[in-house]
Amino acid sequence: MSQDTAIYQLVAKLKNLKTVVQLLKAVNFKETATCFGTYNGLKVTVEDAKCMQASAYIPTEIFEEFNLKEDVIFRINLSVLVECLCMFWGEINTQGSSVALQLFYRGVGYPVTVLIEENGIVTDCSLKTQEPDELLDFNLAQDNVLNKVLLKTDLLKDVLSELDPTCDVIELLLSPEPPYLRISTDGIAGECQVEVPRDSNLIESFQCSTTASSCYKLTHFKPAMKPLSCAIIVSIRTDKYGLLCFQYKVKAEDGHTCYVEYYISPVVDMDE
């Protein structure tokens, strides 16, 4: 797979695709994504209705080659990219996969070119780019964080399996006093509450300074659970306004660490 790379702002090469495909699928709850290329790596951000935002962070260490002339930003159809990559998932998901990828971006107005090679056969995927929309600056500054819980993803999977999927809203309560961590729903099956003690062996760290309870739409909460399939640890943080952040830690096969973050705004008016 050879290209005249001198004309491109960004050239990235990757051999171990499994983790990258998992990260992209984890934030693919909407069709389009805004991509940021910096010297730290690639960030892929998806936003919905200015009240929910997800980002996958792919550090430069993951790439076999990551050449960047200057910071770039562009918007692409993420669903198309994920669909292209998933055509090779059977091979990508095997040990010692031979599937390799190269990504080229020339600059504003040009498409992103993705070349996928498997056993000498190259698939060329050209993705049209668009002018990116302005994204909200979701940020949980350390000074504003009220509560933070670090737990193993198996615990969150178990908790969610107990909840009523017919509900519209999920309530999350974090407290330095019992019940410590409680997730509640109220749906067709009635009210359901799942409580987790702070001394659970699946909780790595429990830092709660005050009792805080907020409600979130299930339609926002469910996509934020997509990274559970590939993450090992999840951090749950909230601030005084009820802004909720899930930060997932994902270990690549080569030992490097990637992250996925989901920010969810609370339901302010329960009658909406």
Angstrom CA distances, 153 to 58, 147, 159, 207, 220, stand at 20, 18, 10, 18, 18
CA angle 229–160–184, rounded 5-degree value: 150
Protein fold of 142-264: Proliferating Cell Nuclear Antigen (3.70.10)
Please compute the mean of the pLDDT values over residues 190-204 and round it to a whole number.
Answer: 89
Angstrom CA distances, 65 to 16, 41, 89, 214, stand at 12, 11, 22, 43
Report residue 157's pLDDT band, with 50, 70 and 90 as the boundaries. confident
CATH 3.70.10.10 for domain 5-127, yes or no, is yes
Q: What is the rounded distance in angstroms from the CA atom of residue 177 to the CA atom of residue 175?
A: 5
Give the tokens for residue 237. Answer: 């943080």
Rg (CA), the chain: 20
Per-residue pLDDT tens over the stretch 206-228: 999 899 999 999 999 989 999 99
Angstrom CA distances, 185 to 60, 88, 180, 224, 246, stand at 40, 39, 17, 17, 19
Amino acid 225: pLDDT = 92
Phi, psi (rounded to 5 degrees) for 211: -75, 125
| Other beta carbons within 10 Å of 122 | 11
Please compute the mean of the pLDDT values over residues 43-70 and round it to a whole number.
Answer: 94
Give the tokens for residue 90. Answer: 């059977």
Amino acid 172: pLDDT = 95
Q: Is the pLDDT of residue 272 over 60?
A: no
Bridge partners (DSSP) listed for residue 251:
257
Question: What does the domain layout of the chain look like in residue ranges?
Answer: 5-127, 142-264
Per-residue pLDDT tens over the stretch 108-120: 999 999 999 988 8
Q: 18-26 and 78-86 helices cross at what angle (nearest 10)?
A: 140
Please indicate whether the domains covering 5-127 and 142-264 agree at the CATH topology level.
yes
Q: Find the length of the chain.
A: 272
Amino acid 1: pLDDT = 47
Q: Is the pLDDT of residue 10 over 70?
A: yes
Query: What is the distance of C-alpha 237 from the center of its chain?
Result: 15
| Other beta carbons within 10 Å of 229 | 12
Report residue 76's pLDDT band, with 50, 70 and 90 as the boundaries. very high
Amino acid 3: pLDDT = 56
Q: Is the peptide bond before 179 cis (omega within 30 degrees of 0)?
A: yes
